[in-house]
Amino acid sequence: MPLLMFDVLEGRSEAETKAMLDAAHRAVLTAFKVPERDRYQIVHENKPYQMVIQDTGLGIERTEKVVVLRVFTSPRSPEQKALFLTELCRELHEYCGIAPSDVMVSFINNDRSDWSFGNGVAQYLTGEL
């Protein structure tokens, strides 16, 4: 049930975007052990002047393939987060040609009671999930 929100520069093709989303989903499946259909992804395309992604002084170079990813999720262990970051960068590099230096990720934790998957019901609270 992580919700992945991607910010990228405009200009990727539909095939490139699909490959990016598929790669990220494989990383989610590996790191978080969620069901296959536990897939929630949104892509926002931005004009170059709308994204300033520097490096906090780390010397990381960015390109036009930069991806900023927000992962909204119930709390995950540090080990799960580290595995996700490793797998995400590996998948994006292997299948999309996106360098690890172009991947920035932020985890946003919330509680299971913060989720409704539809029908005006908090399924984790009702026991449906």
Q: Is 2 a catalytic residue?
A: yes
Q: What's the pLDDT at 1? A: 82
Query: Is residue 15 within a helix (H) or strand (E), and if so which, with residue range?
Result: helix 14-32
Give this prediction's pTM: 0.94
Question: Which SS3 state, helix, strand or coil, does residue 100 take?
Answer: helix
Which DSSP helix (H) or strand (E) runs through 82?
A: helix 78-96
**67-73, strands of its sheet edge to edge:** 40-46, 3-9, 67-73, 103-109
Domain of 96 in residue numbering reads as 2-125
Catalytic option among 2, 48, 78, 100: 2
Contact indicator for 88, 125 with CB cutoff of 8 Å: no
State residue 73's pLDDT score: 97
- 4, 10, 105: which is closest to 50 by C-alpha? 10
- Give residue 107's pLDDT: 98
Strand, coil or helix: what is 103?
strand
The residue type of 58 is L
Tabulate helix, strand, coil % of the chain (nearest 5): 40, 25, 35
Tens-binned pLDDT, residue by residue, of the chain (129 aa): 899 999 999 999 999 999 999 999 999 999 999 999 999 999 999 999 999 999 999 999 999 999 999 999 999 999 999 999 999 999 999 999 999 999 999 999 999 899 999 999 999 999 999
Number of domains in the chain: 1
Among the listed residues 121, 93, 76, the one whose alpha carbon sits nearest the alpha carbon of residue 26: 93
Q: In DSSP terms, which residues pair with 73 in a beta bridge?
A: 109
For residue 101, what pLDDT is reported? 98
Q: What is the CATH number of the domain that holds 33?
A: 3.30.429.10
What pLDDT sits at residue 65?
98
- At 48 the pLDDT is 97
